[in-house]
Amino acid sequence: MKPPEVSAAIDAPQRTVWSALTRLSDRSRVLDDVRSVEFHTDDSFQVGAQWREWRRATGRGRTETLTVIAVHEPVAYSVRAERHGLELTRTTELVALSPWRTQVTTRLMLQPSRSQGRFRRMLMRLFGFVEARRLVKRARVDLDDLARHIGGDQRER
């Protein structure tokens, strides 16, 4: 099965979009539901960088600790988070469609955490389908927020 993905074309140069996505200290200004960011490492976007986000989610707050696991500037990066026994890997790719337009695609890979027992991993696979739908919806909102922050129009594909 193909991992779920969300894609948008944003009217901005690839470097501008990259900067908006990877400037960790600005995440609460770029993404509307991010309320605060706490750094576990410095705020530079590199492999091993780690931070905790507090997001408003369905009327209440949720924290998530994210770790950068791959960076290919300004083309792609991957971050990993663990939640409720599930390991989420989110890969974001940027493709320059023209000097002033960038295609942003986010792929979500959700799997049971390796630390879980066999029965619990099976339950997490079932729960993962529900969580994947919620994460796809959040990724769409994040891309809308990104486009609004940059000032470019955004069209889902």
Task: Decide if pLDDT at 43 tops 90.
Answer: no
Task: Decide if pLDDT at 127 tops 80.
Answer: no
DSSP annotation string for 53-119: EEEEETTEEEEEEEEEEEEETTTEEEEEEEETTEEEEEEEEEEEEETTEEEEEEEEEEEE-TTS-HH
Taken in order of first residue, the domains within the chain and their CATH numbers are 5-150 (3.30.530.20)
Of all residues in the chain, the percent with pLDDT exceeding 70 is: 83
Model pTM?
Answer: 0.85
Helix axes 14-22 and 118-150, enclosed angle (nearest 10): 130
pLDDT in tens, 73-117: 999 999 999 876 778 999 999 999 999 999 999 999 988 776 666
Residue 40 corresponds to which tokens in the numbers above? Answer: 């576990």
Query: Rounded to the nearest 10 degrees, how much is the dihedral formed by the CA atoms of 62, 65, 137, 16?
Result: 120
